[in-house]
Amino acid sequence: MFDFKYFTPTKVIFGKDSESKLTELIKEFGGTKVLIHYGGGSVVRSGLLKRVTDALDSAGIAYVTLGGAVPNPHLGLVYEGIELCKKEKVDFLLGLGGGSAIDSAKAIGYGVANEGDVWDFYDYKRTAKGALPLGVILTIAATGSEMSDSSVITKEDGLIKRGYSSDFGRPKFAILNPELTMTLPDYQTACGCTDIMMHTMERYFSNGGNMEITDALAEGLLRTVKKNAVILRDNPKDYDARAEVMWAGSLAHNGLTGCGSDGGDWMTHKLEHELGGLYDVAHGAGLAAIWGSWARYVFKDCLHRFKKFALNVMEVENKGTDEEIALRGIEAVEDFYRSIGMPTNLRELGVEPTEEELKLMAKKCAIGVGGAKGSAKLLKEEDMLAIYRASV
Ligand code: NZQ
Ligand code: ZN
């Protein structure tokens, strides 16, 4: 096992009506002028934005609002948010929604607290020295951004989608009310479940430093999400299933399921980020579409983990060679994805890249990871291209 740092400073308030604690929390973390940042309007339609502004009015907390964060959130709106915060002397950010609104808020927070172009952080040119404090009310269980150090932004010029990770970006508090996720379209619920599982699987499929306790947590989390994703497919209003998935989403990406490992593989995410940047697909669906091709390409180099996963998570029959068991596990994941309406290749995802576009994605992906990346198997540009080709 490897030494590790585990830092999860986010205060979590979980359960029905937990948003009633909002103004107390903003005051606790020193907010006096708030930017409420949200997405394309689901929080307007659900009434959440109105309840939030009413609560801030009653508590005498000043605020400004900025909506419009799109899935695969854009840098342009981040710049707009930074200007607005400076002009209005905002000292606290409130992200309402999913990973896109929260990530966009994180980027605004870096931009306000640091001089220069905020894209430099996403372009690996320098690191942030601070950020505005951020609180979130989550409306979709998926990315784990509510506790994670990551933020993923797309630069419109060149459609470059990049992530930046810094402990400064971790939210001060996260309000998690599973009921707020009940208005989600079924497709987004399934995308979220896929992303949650993938955050744990990226850490699980590694060739370095695995711990029994971490594996047990990871396997339990994966089985829980797999089970509850199917419950939600059949009954989207099941509160307990919403709650299981929501908490799993936070734990899947706050570092817990990676303690002691080498950090994990993360190549499915890197390959997906190119798809998201170029074709604007939903992140979870993009992951599902690419994972099987990635897994078949790498599994022999990480056979012991694929076998363990097949037996302990996908619960396949323990019969035949290790390779047969591992492959049965991969097939079981794809069957599961299909069962919740997720794609298992690019065609099912709805994109049909040309050979030139596949090459472009492989090239951008290789640049984005600094040449090569992967723990299950180290992948270079030619490997990335082979996986993209296999996923068509
Ligand atoms: O924009 P609105 O109108 O709010 O609609 C959203 C959006 O269309 C909708 N939605 C959210 N909550 C809803 C709802 N609709 C009805 N009822 C609700 N309660 O769902 C759609 C998707 O929302 P979005 O925020 O885009 O989804 P998600 O949370 O999956 O975030 C995806 C983004 O996060 C990045 C992804 O790459 C992608 O850009 N990621 C961020 C990570 C992080 N910060 O740690 C890690 C992830 O691996 C990921 O890369
Ligand atoms: Zn993800």
> Domains of the chain, with CATH numbers?
11-180 (3.40.50.1970), 184-391 (1.20.1090.10)
Ligand of minimum distance to the alpha carbon of 195: 2
Q: What would the 3-class secondary structure string for 244-256 be? A: HHHHHHHHHCCCH
Residue 318 burial by CB count (10 A; 0-12/13-18/19+): exposed, middle or buried? Answer: exposed
Percent of the chain with pLDDT over 70: 100
209: pLDDT strictly greater than 90: no
210: pLDDT strictly greater than 90: no
pLDDT score, position 7: 96
pLDDT score, position 255: 95
Ligand of minimum distance to the alpha carbon of 273: 1
What is d(CA 374, CA 264) in angstroms, rounded to the nearest whole number? Answer: 8
Mean pLDDT of 271-298: 96
Using the 8-state DSSP alphabet, how is residue 74 labeled?
Answer: B
- Ligand 1 pocket, 249 CB below 6 A? no
The overall average pLDDT reported for the chain is 97
In this prediction the pTM is 0.97
pLDDT tens, position by position, 156-183: 999 999 999 999 999 999 999 999 999 9
- Ligand 1 pocket, 145 CB below 6 A? yes
CA of 318 to the centre of ligand 1 (A): 37
